[in-house]
């Protein structure tokens, strides 16, 4: 059922979840299957509200100075309202070292695919010892509107809109209730529950946990809340001159130009580990070369491979030469200095401290794309498909930050000195407080995070349904 104010809500849910984005909704759907009552607390309404959006305001420092009001939406459905719908699960190399306890996500892949309405087909094709071709799929639904209708009819899922989480009440790591503020009246309401879950986005998860830790002294003061914040880098790193007939066969995408699909090649597990790299993939976006571009590339190539230049000249005349943009997306290294903190001076209209983000790149962040480009060059030469023109980017200031993917801040781990939650997604030294969303990722991988966010939520739903009895 949908409630438009905390004033209207008189129940005692078994589980209270802060947020209503894909992480929170997926958890609620999982709990519903087990007939567990839960409540989603959403600060927004059903429509975009510019006043509420201002509560995301904060200071951003470092190499990447971005407006924190963008890329996040305070509205039912959360960032699903600005979601690009591209889906792929994290690779095992991205998360198998997060904990000494085994973390398995594959068993939740089919259910995650159903929730996101995406094909459960993420094919991989081994190209050589170091590279593989990978596949992304796209969701077929408007996530927010679809699940608003679905939840409105649920007997086990409630949503309270226009209400902002303020604090938890309890002691010794066991919480009994939450203070929720009505955005319009600013009146505080208390809602009791057995378990509490933060699922309100990477930045807000850190913000509210920092509030509990720093202001209310309810969490372990040594927990690195807000630390290890990261995202993805995305930069145009080069061009590929290729025989289009061979390239299209390689990628098994003979009509991908027509359909607007994007083919991708990524690094393999062993190469990432051996070279201590982050996960990465390159998007191949082909287009037929113009005469000017052909002349420019052929002059550079003539000095290096004169015989091959004759071959591509012939391909160009037959309109079989493909110029392909190589855009690499890769994971930002997990650095403690990249972090979120609470402002000591600025608050929003509900007197909740704003946040400050420091996000910097380091020279080591260039290791991954350079290695990937080297391997692509070797592969395309050996397979006689084409030649890579590698842009020489040595300045870390030149790489771009993918502003839509906010990752880390409440990362998984076994040691409370270096992580915020354990392998069950429970906040260290608490008994009934959990976190979901991309803030829990200890490495960012390269894939869009939504699919694995849903997998982790389903995993937590299964865990909570077992311990709530």
pLDDT in tens, 270-294: 999 999 999 999 988 766 554 445 5
pLDDT of residue 61: 87
pLDDT of residue 325: 80
The structure tokens listed for 217 are 């002294």
pLDDT of residue 82: 87
Q: Count Cβ atoms within 10 A of the Cβ of residue 466 and give its class: 0-12 exposed, 13-18 middle, 19 or more buried.
A: exposed
C-beta atoms surrounding 325 within 10 Å: 15
The structure tokens listed for 263 are 């083919």
Beta strands 263-267 and 280-288: pairing type?
antiparallel
Q: Residue 416: phi, psi to the nearest 5?
A: -60, -15
pLDDT of residue 318: 45
Beta strands 401-407 and 2-3: pairing type?
unpaired
pLDDT of residue 62: 83
Q: Which domains does the chain have, with CATH numbers?
A: 2-230+333-364+399-467 (3.50.50.60)
Cα-based distances in Å from 305 to 8, 302, 311, 375, 414: 74, 5, 10, 18, 53
pLDDT of residue 288: 52
This prediction's pTM: 0.92
Q: Count Cβ atoms within 10 A of the Cβ of residue 384 and give its class: 0-12 exposed, 13-18 middle, 19 or more buried.
A: exposed
DSSP state of 274: H
Q: How far apart are CA 146 and CA 316, in angstroms?
A: 48
pLDDT of residue 260: 47
pLDDT of residue 385: 83
DSSP string, 282-307: EEEEEEEPPHHHHHHHHHHHHHH-HH
Contact of 136 with 256, CB cutoff 8 Å? no
Q: How far apart are CA 152 and CA 22, in angstroms?
A: 16
pLDDT of residue 386: 81
Residues of the chain with pLDDT under 70: 251-262, 286-323, 469
What SS3 state is found at 144? helix
């Amino acid at each position: 059922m949908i409630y438009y104010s905390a004033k209207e809500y008189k129940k005692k849910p078994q589980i209270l979840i802060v947020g209503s984005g894909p992480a929170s909704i997926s958890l609620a759907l999982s709990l519903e299957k087990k007939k567990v009552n839960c409540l989603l607390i959403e600060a927004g309404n059903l429509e975009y509200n510019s006043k509420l959006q201002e509560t995301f305001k904060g200071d951003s420092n470092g190499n990447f100075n971005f407006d924190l009001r963008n890329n996040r939406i305070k509205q039912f459905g959360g960032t699903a309202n600005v979601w690009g719908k591209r889906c792929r699960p994290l690779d095992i190399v991205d998360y198998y070292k997060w904990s000494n306890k085994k973390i398995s996500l594959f068993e939740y892949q089919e259910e995650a695919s159903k929730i996101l309405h995406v094909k459960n087909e993420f094919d991989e094709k081994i190209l050589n010892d170091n590279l593989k071709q990978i596949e992304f799929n796209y969701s077929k639904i408007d996530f927010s509107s679809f699940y608003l209708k679905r939840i409105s009819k649920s007997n086990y899922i409630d949503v309270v809109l226009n209400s902002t989480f303020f604090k938890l009440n309890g002691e010794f790591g066991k919480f009994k209730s939450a203070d929720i503020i009505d955005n319009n009246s600013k009146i505080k309401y208390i809602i009791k529950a057995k378990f509490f879950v933060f699922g309100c986005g990477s930045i807000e998860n850190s913000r509210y946990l920092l509030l509990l830790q720093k202001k209310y002294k309810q969490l372990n003061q040594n927990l690195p809340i807000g630390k290890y914040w990261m995202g993805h880098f995305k930069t145009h790193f080069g061009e590929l001159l290729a025989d289009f007939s061979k390239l299209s066969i390689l990628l098994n995408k003979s009509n991908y130009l027509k359909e607007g699909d994007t083919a991708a090649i990524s690094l393999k597990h062993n190469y990432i580990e051996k070279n201590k790299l982050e996960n990465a993939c390159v998007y191949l976006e082909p287009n037929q070369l113009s005469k000017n571009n052909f002349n420019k590339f052929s002059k550079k190539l003539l000095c290096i491979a004169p015989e091959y230049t004759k071959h591509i000249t012939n391909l160009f005349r037959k309109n079989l030469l493909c110029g392909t943009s190589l855009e690499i997306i890769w994971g930002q290294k997990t650095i403690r200095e990249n972090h979120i903190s609470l402002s000591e001076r600025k608050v929003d209209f509900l007197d909740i401290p704003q946040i400050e983000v420091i996000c910097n790149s380091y020279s080591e962040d260039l290791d991954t794309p350079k290695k990937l480009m080297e391997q692509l060059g070797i592969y395309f030469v050996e397979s006689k498909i084409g030649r890579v023109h590698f842009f020489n980017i040595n300045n870390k200031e030149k790489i771009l930050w993918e502003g839509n993917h906010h990752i880390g801040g409440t990362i998984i781990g076994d040691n409370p000195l270096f992580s915020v939650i354990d392998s069950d997604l429970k906040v260290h030294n608490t008994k009934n407080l959990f976190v979901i969303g991309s803030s829990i990722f200890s490495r960012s991988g390269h894939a869009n995070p939504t699919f694995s966010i849903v997998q982790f939520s389903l995993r937590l739903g299964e865990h909570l349904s077992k311990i709530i009895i």
